[in-house]
Amino acid sequence: MVSTEKPTGNHTGKAASRTKRADAVRNQQTLLAAAAEVFVTSGVDAPIRQIAAKAGVGMGTIYRHFPTRADLVTAVYRHQIEACAEAGPRLLAEADSPFDALRQWIDLFVDFLVTKHGLADALQSDSSRFTALHTYFLDRLGPVCTELLSAAVDAGDIRPGTQPYELMRGIGNLCIGRDTDPRYDPRRLIELLLLGLRQPRQT
């Protein structure tokens, strides 16, 4: 028997609400990705209008989501941590070798670190927020770096014994000064660091 009852509209309303929420999340992710790109090239003090233009939105949209620059920088920081964390397993599955996966992941990590260097200034006296973000950074990215290093060691690509925290800390230190000295390119030294990790091939 075919029901003659008319839809109440409840389900339609819920579906529309879910669609709107999904659209809002997607739009916010697009905005954060655009802001991250601008921060990498222009620093965390880049004009909001530059970020709005990159994201293809009005400045009001940015201020509605992120009332202060600290809110925006914090959100970008978390967004980049998640992107970096999620990239690890994907790169391991797609790259030609675990070493290539590690190298590509470190390239993403460097982009993230360049943005991170302006974080303390952007948050100013909000030390509790900075501490929480740093803890989140280590908790999320430490295990990913561990997985990539272990895979590269197991494949015979790099020497054993490198600690994930040491590698992340060392790369971070090499990135210091990149914004203030145009003659300095940390990626060159990071490439030398990675070459130094390579396991000599048996002849």
3-state SS class at 118:
coil
3-state SS class at 89:
helix
Instruction: Specify the pTM.
Output: 0.77
* Domain positions in the chain: 9-67, 68-203
pLDDT recorded at residue 114: 76
Tokens representing 162 are 């490198």
pLDDT recorded at residue 130: 76
Classify 9-67 by CATH class.
mainly alpha
Predicted confidence (pLDDT) per residue in 97-132, tens digit:
999 999 999 999 988 887 776 665 666 656 687 788
pLDDT recorded at residue 134: 85
Predicted confidence (pLDDT) per residue in 50-101, tens digit:
999 999 989 999 999 999 888 898 898 898 899 999 999 999 999 999 999 9
Dist CA 133 CA 129 (whole Å): 6
pLDDT recorded at residue 6: 52
Per CATH, which fold does 68-203 belong to?
Tetracycline Repressor; domain 2 (1.10.357)
More confident residue, 143 or 111: 143
The residue assigned the tokens 């295990």 is 143
